[in-house]
Structure 1
Amino acid sequence: MAKEIEKKTARILFVEQGKTYEEIASQVGVNPRTVERWAKENDWKKIRDAKANSGKQRIERTQLVVDSLTDERLRIIAEIKQLQIKLDNETDEQVRKDLQKELFNHRKDCASIDDAIAKWNKRVENLSKETKVTLSMYIEVMEMVFEALRIKNESLYIQTLDFQEEHLNEIASRKF
């Protein structure tokens, strides 16, 4: 019990911040093997992985891909505008053909990126549907959590009854 604060701190550093055993050990003041043992005994890696792969996290990572594709498309469009200006001012026929070929390739790249963006956006949409929680599922989990709280600390459970009702009413009013 003497190391409960260190253990709780280590858990936060491991699960929430993704620190290594060694980093945690030096920060908390325990042996890295102790941190490793705590992590294994309490399934910290499983919890960290679950948090990292939550629906929200997957959607955010997928959205980053869409954003980078959009940035790339904007960069290419800027190049197309510059090439078009060069083409409009060019008189040499061979240089014009080369510029037209380059413009064609850039436009083809834009079309390819547009297709990729559409597919990734569809993925975001599907992830949003997959990770949506129904009201009945939410209530079931809420009941499990508060039942566990009642068993662990009944007086604290009783103090949360108003919160439970208010929270449930708020959640029920949302569109599920």
Structure 2
Amino acid sequence: MDQGKTAKDSAKLVKVTEKTFGNWIEKYGWKKLRDAKENSRDQRIDNIKNVIDGITEDRQATRTRLNELKADLKTYLNTKDDDAVEITREMITEARKEIVGYDDAISKWNKTLENFDKERTVSLSNYLYVMDEVFKDMQMVDTDLYLKTLDFQEQHITKASLKLG
């Protein structure tokens, strides 16, 4: 699941038949686990960031092309090549429109990323409430374990408080 290998490759790796490996996939729910992992919060955030990076690279390439077109336009204006001037101005207009489109797409993906993060972030008060319930239950079920974990509890709550603010 973690290495992106096919079932066929994995079966060969562990020296079993594809059928046996396929049975294991079904029996142990590995496909569901893989799908859940691929759709995990962190993975989705990484995917969105990769999309934004790709759009940014395309925007930069278009910006470079725009700068080259502007230099070409100056040359054509100096040589009084009216046809080349007209065509180059049209190409500059199109490049500017592309850049605006990239900026719009980046803005929308950033908003998606921001909203996704808001939807998936637990408030500090909710987190503290849940952890308090867990620790209370631990105390009722196994007082010795509860007492042994007091330092951990304090460290964990401090860490969570700093992270969730």
Among 30, 39, 46, the residue aligned to 1:53: 39
* 1:43 aligned onto 2:32: no
How far is 1:137 from its partner?
4.9
* Aligned counterparts, 1:105-120, within 5 A: 105-120=94-109
- 1:83–1:103 CA contact under 8 A, matched in 2: yes
CA distance 1:168–1:118, change in 2 (3 Å): same
Structure 2: how far apart are the matches of 1:127 and 1:106?
A: 31
What's the TM-score once normalised by structure 2's chain length?
A: 0.78
- 1:25–1:31 CA contact under 8 A, matched in 2: yes
Structure 2: how far apart are the matches of 1:26 and 1:128?
A: 40
How far is 1:18 from its partner?
3.0
The one-letter amino acid paired with 1:43 is: G
How far is 1:61 from its partner?
0.8
Structure 1: how far apart are the matches of 2:30 and 2:58?
A: 38
CA distance 1:140–1:175, change in 2 (3 Å): closer
What's the TM-score once normalised by structure 1's chain length?
A: 0.74
- 2:123–2:164 CA contact under 8 A, matched in 1: no
Among 48, 55, 77, the residue aligned to 1:62: 48
- 2:128–2:157 CA contact under 8 A, matched in 1: no
User: How big is the alpha-carbon RMSD for the aligned residues of Structure 1 and Structure 2?
Assistant: 2.9
* 1:71 aligned onto 2:57: yes
What's the counterpart of residue 100 of structure 1?
Answer: 89
* 1:175 aligned onto 2:125: no
* Stretches (4+) displaced over 6 A: none
Structure 2, unaligned runs of 5 or more: none
Among 81, 85, 96, the residue aligned to 2:67: 81
Measured against aligned partners, the alpha-carbon deviations of 1:129-159 in whole angstroms (never above 9, x if no partner) come to 1222344358748949x97xx99xxx9x78x
Structure 1, unaligned runs of 5 or more: 1-13
What's the counterpart of residue 122 of structure 1?
Answer: 111
